[in-house]
Amino acid sequence: MVGDSLMSHGQLTTDDGLLTAFDELAAWCRARGYAGHDPFDALNSSLFQATPLRRSRLARLAWTQLFKRSPVNLRPLARVPAERNAKGTALFALAWLARARAGGGESRADAVGEARKLLDDLAGARIETAHGAAWGYNFDWQGRAFFAPEGTPTVVPTAFAARALVEASRFFGDDSYLGLARGACEFILRDLNRTDDTHEEVCFSYTPLDGTRVFNASLLAAEALASVGALTGEGELRETAVRAARYVVRRQRADGSWAYGAENFQSWSDNFHTAFVLTSLARVIDACEDHREEFQPALRRGFDSWHKNFFRADGFPKFTPESDYPADAHSAGAALAALAELEDLSPDAPPLARKIARWSLEHLRDPRGFFHYQRRRTHTVRTPYMRWSQAWMLYGLARLLETMN
């Protein structure tokens, strides 16, 4: 746990607990090859796959939720292997790129080397689609709306891979990274399904298998198109990104929040998906300056609503506006990453980031260096999920350190 050295007039400094927390978490993840379990990997169980239940939608849902909600990790008993996850690889690469930008001397050289290795791994994990390149999850995933078998090309891991590749292209001046990100744009443009496709708006599906309208997912697609288009000079990519951003912005609620998606059963809001929306919208605005005036008010209203409704005064990351618990490491890490993007939007962003970091280090960090999954009302779930918790916290801490540098 982090001691009183973190308390310096209510702020964190880079020369004590914050940097130590990053270094110890990084060492813990590296020692395991960035492989681990995930809240949604229960269908990788060899026991479950050996039964007829694997063919049942309801059984797949129930099995997944049982493992996700359990206060103890059932995966070793059910023979769920610890594996690498492409989205996690992208987040770890983003974390090391942030440290490379902020660091100096040996620490910078180490960060550069680690980022390079992870980017190579990310490139090797890509899925060649009918028209481009994409990334997917390392497990079968059963949601309420559809089923995606392991390896299905999916917009969310693809967009995070594109983010890492775009940042790598900028940092290293290496067009090979940009070429891979451009391939992801072909997947988005030509393999994903589109709904509400008009001259002014468009919404991208989650995978080529569905027609869902998930706001953060479609906006992540917009971010990828806008960021790549800003580097390649392709106006068509940015124009499509603007249409996708406009679709989400026009569905912002009166109080500044966004639902998860457009369907009635997707009307809920949570902390980390809101952070995704804010981060992607900020990146679209940066890449499409001509539309700043159109989108900036929605970004500001969204930030104000998120700040007001999703955090307690001490930085505790509430899961929903209505429920404080569970306090999730994923929400904390995603918030830190988002606030780094939004530090120029509001003077409230930097102090909020410091509060979240301080609370997370005091209440979610294990003495062994990793972060617990969730703090619930009556107990803490200590399962060290690699992609969900560790990758997000490493990325969030790295971005916070970068902004404080």
Provide the residue range defining the domain that includes 78.
42-82
| 36-52: average pLDDT | 97
Say if residue 220's pLDDT is above 90: yes
Say if residue 2's pLDDT is above 60: no
Q: Residues 217, 136, 121, CA angle at the centre, nearest 5°?
A: 120
From CA 324, how far away is CA 280, in angstroms rounded? Answer: 25
Residues 259 and 197 in one domain: yes
Residues 145 and 290 in one domain: yes
Question: φ and ψ at 11, to 5 degrees?
Answer: -125, 165
Residues 166 and 262 in one domain: yes
Question: Could you say which of 50, 82, 114 is where a domain stops?
Answer: 82
From CA 309, how far away is CA 257, in angstroms rounded? Answer: 9
Residues 136 and 216 in one domain: yes
Query: What percent of the chain is predicted at pLDDT more than 90?
Result: 91
Q: Residues 259, 278, 300, CA angle at the centre, nearest 5°?
A: 100
Residues 63 and 115 in one domain: no
Residues 58 and 166 in one domain: no
Determine the 3-state secondary structure of 208 from DSSP. coil
What's residue 6's pLDDT? 36
Amino acid letter at 186? Answer: E
Q: How many domains are there within the chain?
A: 2
Residues 72 and 93 in one domain: no
Question: Could you say which of 53, 82, 111 is where a domain stops?
Answer: 82
Question: Could you say which of 54, 82, 110 is where a domain stops?
Answer: 82
β-pair partners for 380: 375
Q: Is the pTM of this model over 0.75?
A: yes
The first and second tokens of residue 342, run together, are: 């939004």
Q: Which residue from 165, 22, 39, 21 is spatially nearest to 91, judged by alpha carbons?
A: 165
Chain position carrying tokens 């973190």? 6
Integer distance in angstroms from the first to the last C-alpha of the chain? 23
Residues 148 and 58 in one domain: no
Cβ-Cβ contacts under 8 Å for 195 (sequence gap 6 or more): 202, 203, 205, 211, 213
Residues 357 and 390 in one domain: yes
Residues 144 and 237 in one domain: yes
pLDDT, tens digit (0-9, with 9 covering 90-100), for 96-134: 999 999 976 668 889 999 999 999 999 999 999 999 999
The CATH number linked to 108 is 1.50.10.10
pLDDT, tens digit (0-9, with 9 covering 90-100), for 260-314: 999 999 999 999 999 999 999 999 999 999 999 999 999 999 999 999 999 999 9
From CA 282, how far away is CA 296, in angstroms rounded? Answer: 8
Residues 278 and 372 in one domain: yes
Residues 68 and 94 in one domain: no
